[in-house]
Amino acid sequence: MRGRRRRRQEIFRLKTAVKYVCILGFCLFIIVQTATQLQLTASENTISASEFRSVKLHSRKIGEFGETVINMLPEDLAFTLFLPSERAFERDLGLVPERSLANESFAILTRVLGFSALPRWIHSADLEVGKEVIYHSISGFGLYIRRDSNQTVIVNGVASELVDLKIGKDRKTLVHVMDGVVMDSEFEESIQPEIE
């Protein structure tokens, strides 16, 4: 009798110890998860001095028209923007900040936004080298996107100058600065006579 009681007591103590270890482990897991989430949230909402300098340096490539296009996007949603460089706005669309009429340039910039913005993030690292993926822009225009061995993102034959710039208040806009304008042939034909 005493042997059975002793075994029951030992089993009861063992079960109790296992319960305490499980509860302690679960509590530690919750604490670690919470601390990690708080650190990630804090790091997402802060911008380091080097990142700030980097964005400031690249804002020259983005230019006035690029900033206007970025500001057209809603701040609370994640977007990828294949943005023409300042040089591409002038070379391919004939837009020069000092000479472009506000209404005309705004209409063109709206079309550029429709062709070049995706309602999701696509980092250059998300693309496999040489493998083309197809997405549709916010206007429904088909974007054929790939990355070459030099880490250059290519969209519908237009190569990138800079990739993976996070811009905006909450840095929800991912910008790839392109050495050209991503557009359909109809829009390209409509702007050609103006440039010539």
Q: What is the pTM of this model?
A: 0.66
C-alpha span between 189 and 28 (Å, rounded):
63
pLDDT of residue 102: 65
What single DSSP character describes residue 130? Answer: T
Helix (H, G, I), strand (E, B) or coil at 120: coil
47: which residues sit within 8 A by CB, 6+ positions away?
Answer: 55, 171
Q: Which residues pair with 49 in a beta bridge?
A: none
Q: Is the pLDDT of residue 74 over 90?
A: no
Handedness of CA 138, 139, 144, 150 (dihedral sign): negative
pLDDT digits (tens, 9 = 90+) for 33-54: 777 777 655 544 444 444 444 4
- Total length of the chain: 196
Place of tokens 């996070």: 166
> Which range is least confidently modeled, 46-55, 123-132, 139-148, 150-159?
46-55
Summarised one tens digit per residue, pLDDT across range 98-125 is: 766 566 788 888 999 999 999 999 999 9
What is the distance between the alpha carbons of residues 93 and 112, in angstroms, rounded to a whole number?
Answer: 10
Strand order in 158-167's β-sheet?
117-118, 79-84, 173-178, 158-167, 153-155, 142-147, 133-136
Among 9-23, 32-46, 105-119, 157-171, name the one with the lowest average pLDDT: 32-46
